[in-house]
Amino acid sequence: QREIDPLLGQPSSSTPPDDPRDPTIRFTEGIPDFDLTVHTKDTVRDVKANVRVKGLPQLKDRLRFIHAGGPLTDGTLLHEWLATLEERRVCASARSQDISKEDQESLTWLHCSVGPVIEPGESEEEKPQVAQLQPLRGFDRLAAAGFSD
């Protein structure tokens, strides 16, 4: 949890107000890795736009960021998320003295899954996935299990 200064209602001064993070983005489609600077108020949606504008303007496909097997949603404040990830990494390395100095200062990798092309007029927003097969219910389920009428 974040520490809050009670008088100001703002995050404590333990972290500088604009301490940029520099994750490396690795793409699934064989596109070269891309280093990006993330500032305090950047969300995942903002970072996706920055990747398209600064790094890969020819990329018109749907992008999805993944870290440690879990997708990062568009509304996530990426700077804050990276800061907590770094804090957890430091705590874990403090518990284990076997970790070298290089491992403590390792890069943060975000995997970027490249999806289908975004059609004109379509938004980047992720649509909820709908099950293609509906599970059997009631007597249909019993019939499929071998029970007869």
Q: What is the DSSP string of 69-88?
A: TEEPPTTSBHHHHHHHHHHH
Predicted local confidence at residue 142, as pLDDT: 86
Q: What is the DSSP string of 79-127?
A: HHHHHHHHHHHHHHHHH-TTS-HHHHTPPPEEEEEEEEEPPTT--SPPP
Predicted local confidence at residue 88, as pLDDT: 86
SS3 at position 35: strand
The b/e string for 61-100 (b: 16+ C-beta within 10 A; e otherwise) is bbbbbebeeeebebebebbbbbbeeeeebeeebeeeeeee
pLDDT in tens, 18-38: 678 888 888 887 788 888 888
Predicted local confidence at residue 12, as pLDDT: 47
Report mean pLDDT in 10-residue bins for the chain, 149 residues: 49 58 84 86 89 75 85 88 86 69 65 80 64 80 81
Closest Cα to residue 75, out of 124, 26, 16? Answer: 124
Predicted local confidence at residue 109, as pLDDT: 86
Predicted local confidence at residue 98, as pLDDT: 57
